[in-house]
A and B are shown apart, each in its own frame.
Chain A
Amino acid sequence: MTSFIDVLYIIAFALFIYGLMGLTGPRTAVRGNLIAAVGMVIAIIATLLTPGTSNWVLIALGIILGAVVGVPSARQVKMTAMPQMVALFNGVGGGAVGLIAWVEFRTTHDYAHLAAYVPVTSLFAAIIGSVSFWGSLVAFGKLQEILPGRPISLGKPQQLINLLLLLAAIACAVIIGIGVNSQLLIVGVLVFAAVLGLMVVLPIGGADMPVVISLLNAFTGLSAAATGLALDNTAMIVAGMIVGASGSILTNLMAKAMNRSIPAIIAGGFGGGSIAASSGGATDQVVRQTSAADAAIQMAYANQVVIVPGYGMAVAQAQHAVREMAKLLESKGVEVKYAIHPVAGRMPGHMNVLLAEADVPYEQLKEMDDINSEFSRTDVALVIGANDVTNPAARTNPNSPIHGMPILNVDQARSIIVLKRGMSPGFAGIENELYYDAKTSMLFGDAKSSVGSVTEELKVL
């Protein structure tokens, strides 16, 4: 029976790898996800086939509880709230690892009569899992705007405190390893790691959150692999390690798309120092306001309009209204394109998902490198709830915290209309010089109703 289970595990992790390969290509992605899910079902069944498995009622209870919570939240979550949902799902995975490590400590009577690698891997998993759980909760809170998106930091001593917390968690683990028998120690490991998770993520600005979620995702993978080592389970080792490795590559790719380095993100404070760094006196400058009617006329007589959607459009659920407006413009012979910044929305690829939901034709979505050369030929750039990704300071102001970040060269268009709720700075907390440009006019209000009234004006033109 055990070798049959092992064979099932091998099939399962082969399916994980094959599924993951599929997930990296646009055409094979859906199938890849399904294949990985089948692998997971096989792995779960194989585990339940283990001879002598008891506590069936509790197993069923746990799975039902998880399904009751997981299925509706995954089904009903709005596409705009996807990033924080992923953070939450990642967090509970880390939490599971921490709890398993805790119980393992208890049921093995402090690892008595076990090889040395068991406590080492299990306690490693406990630390990483706990960091991941609490860190993910903070990431969720920030993106859900339960917690303020701005960095919350203790300032300079932060790094030292984090280091001390890590050392404290490791110290507890080492004392357990020496053979001191105390429940307090394992709780200490988990609690110190928990505080560490909170302290590491709290100072990170909201704009960097996708990278952090990806990093915590890789962490949870590693902790799953470590748990697999402790429990001698190949499926867990392979699946966990693949996620650990691919997750770190993905984290790197994301950080690159935002021109941020991972150590700089972890060091934190992306928006914190920026208030001082943003060009002084910007607030004295005047902005030009426009009306829906003027905006409609401007666009109706343009040859090309490039729409720059941002997270603000997504929160206002304006993507369908935007699609309506674009259709009207097209019927008037205007060429409409969408400029998609790699990190538009709150995660790479997030905006593509949202626009796809509104049935925007795929051919009209232009990636940053393709559209940037076109802005100089564009009559109207319509910025809807995008901010930091259009800030020319990234190109021109070496003192700006976002200097060097690849941006959409919206300022090169002949005129720019910005739809925005108010003059508040963006997610990264930085002033945007674009709004004070002489070519820019602002249309204040909720993105959805603004787009709606522009559409109405277009209809009567």
Chain B
Amino acid sequence: MFLANLAILVLAGFVGFAVISKVPNTLHTPLMSGTNAIHGIVLLGGLIVIGSGASGVLDKVLLVIAIAFGTINVIGGFLVTDRMLGMFKARKPEAGTESAGTGEKGSATS
């Protein structure tokens, strides 16, 4: 079981490397924020450990905090990323209404 998981881990590492080969500077901040949201997956860890029947008071308190932290990470991460990216998108129609802008789709930045 552990070895199979280790294999998955190594392969996932290479996938991670491959996905981020070329990213325009413009997207560095949203991308960081997006990957940040994805590691909010730690929330699952909190759910599994508390769900399997943590009983001590200290354990429960720690896990509720852990779940709250994980939820903040997930929700906050995705919302903030969406807000940032929304700024890029919202501009297009608006630029079209102005004399200076033509509202054309921005080509990928180098």
Contact = CB atoms under 8 A, between A and B. Distances in A.
Given A20-B38, A69-B72, A239-B38, A34 B82 contact: yes
Task: List the 7 closest A-B pairs by CB distance, nearest first.
Answer: A66-B71, A245-B16, A62-B67, A348-B28, A74-B79, A53-B51, A241-B12
A224 B83 CA distance: 25
A2 to B, nearest CB: 13
Interface in A225-255: 225, 227-229, 231-247, 249-250, 253-254
A54 interface: yes
Interface string B30-74: 111111111111111111111111101011101111111111111
14 contacts: A23-B31, A27-B105, A27-B108, A29-B85, A30-B82, A54-B51, A70-B73, A73-B76, A86-B80, A224-B41, A224-B45, A237-B9, A250-B35, A327-B100
Contacts of B102: 363
A69 B30 contact: no
Interface size class, chain A: 35 or more
A70 B1 CA distance: 35
Contacts of A74: 75-77, 79-80, 83
Interface of A: 13, 16-17, 19-21, 23-27, 29-30, 32-34, 36-37, 40, 43-44, 47-48, 50, 52-55, 58-59, 61-63, 65-67, 69-71, 73-75, 77, 79, 82-83, 85-86, 88-90, 92-93, 95-97, 99-100, 102-104, 106-107, 115, 117, 210, 213-214, 217, 220-221, 223-225, 227-229, 231-247, 249-250, 253-254, 257, 327, 330, 342, 347-350, 352-353, 356-357, 359, 361-364, 367, 369
Interface string B73-99: 111111111111111111110110010
Contact of B67 (A66, A102, A236): A66
B56 to A, nearest CB: 7
Contacts of A106: 56, 58-59
Contacts of A369: 110
B88 A356 contact: yes
Residue with the highest number of chain A CB atoms closer than 10 Å, among B42, B58, B72, B89: B42
Given A86-B33, A106-B59, A353-B84, A50 B51 contact: yes
Given A33-B78, A33-B81, A362-B101, 14 more contacts: A21-B19, A53-B51, A62-B46, A62-B65, A66-B67, A66-B70, A69-B68, A97-B42, A102-B62, A107-B54, A233-B48, A348-B28, A349-B27, A349-B28
B72 A89 contact: yes
A108 to B, nearest CB: 10
Residue with the highest number of chain B CB atoms closer than 10 Å, among A82, A221, A236, A242: A242
B49 A348 contact: no
Given A59-B67, A106-B59, A359-B94, A367 B5 contact: no
Contacts of A61: 64
B6 A229 contact: yes
Nearest to A69: B72
B60 A243 contact: no
Contacts, number: 397
A236 B41 contact: yes
Contacts of A254: 28
A327 B73 CA distance: 40
Given A93-B39, A245-B16, A238 B8 contact: yes
A227 B24 CA distance: 32
A102 B22 CA distance: 38
A24 B39 CA distance: 17
A103 B38 contact: no
Given A70-B72, A237-B9, A243-B39, A75 B108 contact: no
Contact of A99 (B33, B38, B69, B98): B69
Contacts of B95: 359, 361-362
B86 A30 contact: yes
Nearest to A27: B105
A90 B74 contact: no
Contact of A90 (B15, B36, B109): B36
B2 A229 contact: yes
B87 A79 contact: yes
A47 B35 contact: no
A88 B9 CA distance: 26
Contacts of A234: 5, 8
B20 A361 contact: no
Given A58-B50, A74-B83, A36 B67 contact: no
A224 B77 CA distance: 15
Given A229-B9, A249-B20, A26 B45 contact: no
Contact of B2 (A65, A115, A250): A115
Contacts of B20: 20, 24, 245-246, 249-250, 253
Nearest to A117: B2
A257 B25 contact: yes
Contacts of B60: 55, 58
B35 A58 contact: no
